Amino acid sequence: MDVFQILLNGIVLGALYACIAIGFSLVWGVLNVINMLHGSFIILGGYLTYFAWHYTGIYPIILLPFVAMVLFALGYVLQHLFINKVVTAPVLTTLTLTFGLDMILYNLMTVFFTATPRRVTLDLGTLSFGDVYLPVDRLLGMALALVLTALLYLVMRGSRIGRAIVAVRMDRQAAALMGIRVNQVYSITFGIGALMAGAAGAIFAMVFPVTTNLTGVFLGKAFVVCVIGGLGSVPGALVGGLALGLIESVAGYTIGPQNAITVGFLLMLFLLVVRPTGLIGVKGYE
């Protein structure tokens, strides 16, 4: 296989991974909560997009904002009702709680949607440059992922709520003293995390089949991206995502796709021990 093909595959995959991980990274960096629901949010976004497209025929790109809003609402409510009560609790408590909530969501999805893999099939053809092939739906997916990431970056930098979120991430108590309603910022942040996950799922569903069996896989990818790129920052998730995408693409070609996943985890373990703050990330919480 052509070197450029491998690299291109890696970048396309990487952009998707970045999009998958950015919401997770934000929640972890700001709330200091590891959101075990993240994988399920992604699949939910994918399923909702599929069913909406299947029954109405509307293009997924148009459906994306609506799916995103639904996920935002879901995330906001979960944070408001449950997770906000335990944000200051030790790791084991928050992790177990999100895991428990995830089990409920997962079960609801398998019962109402079933685990059948679903994919939005858009017959958009394939571009080719010499020996290098790029299916257009993947190109579209990558473009959307990058646009979404950029949008979030702009929101974080430019909007009031974005500034508030960054303030809370830096210093919760100081932010509260400045008049920021921390709990509401938390709910919004978690909502944004869910929104990004759902959008990522929607994009993913245009390129690959999604099924509830993949929730763990996505969650695992999000972990790895966060450790590689660092927590709580959009550029970090982008760097981490691209890095993972490229690594998996190269490793997949050289030692097989199954082993490529192992390489990702081993890299994560290595980085955890050597440099837990990631390649460019903000210093994470303990």
Partner 1 sequence: MNRQVKISIAAVIVYSLALALIPVFAGNYETRIAISVAMFSALALSWNFIGGFTGYPSFSTAAFFGLGCYIGALSQRAGMPAELAWIIATVGVAGFAAALGAIILRLKGHYFAIGSIAIVEVTRLIISSWGSVTGGGDGLNVPLMTGTPDVVAARILYIMLAVMGMAFVATVIVDRSRLGFGLRCIHQNEDAADMVGVDTTRFKIAAFVLSALFCGLVGAVYASWVGYIDPTDSFSILLTVKVPVMALLGGAGTLAGPIVGAGVFVLLEEFFWANFLQWNRAILGIIIVFLIFFLPGGLLKIRYKDLLKKLSANRSNTVSEGEAKG
> How many residues can be counted in the chain?
286
Footprint (CB under 8 A) of partner 1, residues 121-160: none
Contact 221, 245 (CB under 8 A): no
Backbone angles phi, psi at 208, to 5 degrees: -130, 160
- What Å distances lie between residue 166 and 63, 201, 278, CA to CA? 29, 25, 18
Of 9-17, 188-196, 245-253, 264-272, which segment contacts partner 1 by CB under 8 A? 264-272
Compute, in degrees rounded to 10, the torsion defined by CA atoms 6, 136, 116, 77. 100
Chosen residue from 91, 143, 151, 174 binding partner 1 by CB under 8 A: 91
* E strand or H helix that includes residue 97: helix 91-112
Least distance from C-beta 84 to partner 1, angstroms?
12
Here's the x/- map for partner 1, 13-32, by CB under 8 A: it reads as ---------------x---x
Footprint (CB under 8 A) of partner 1, residues 180-199: none
Q: How far apart are CA 201 and CA 275, in angstroms?
A: 30
269 binds partner 1 (CB under 8 A): yes
Of 39-47, 82-90, 136-144, 166-174, which segment contacts partner 1 by CB under 8 A? 82-90
261 binds partner 1 (CB under 8 A): yes
DSSP state of 231: B
Residue with the two structure tokens 């390649």? 279
Residues that bind partner 1 (CB under 8 A): 28, 32, 34, 82, 85-86, 90-93, 95-97, 99-104, 106-108, 110-111, 216, 220, 223, 227, 256, 258-259, 261-262, 265-266, 268-269, 272-273, 276, 284-286
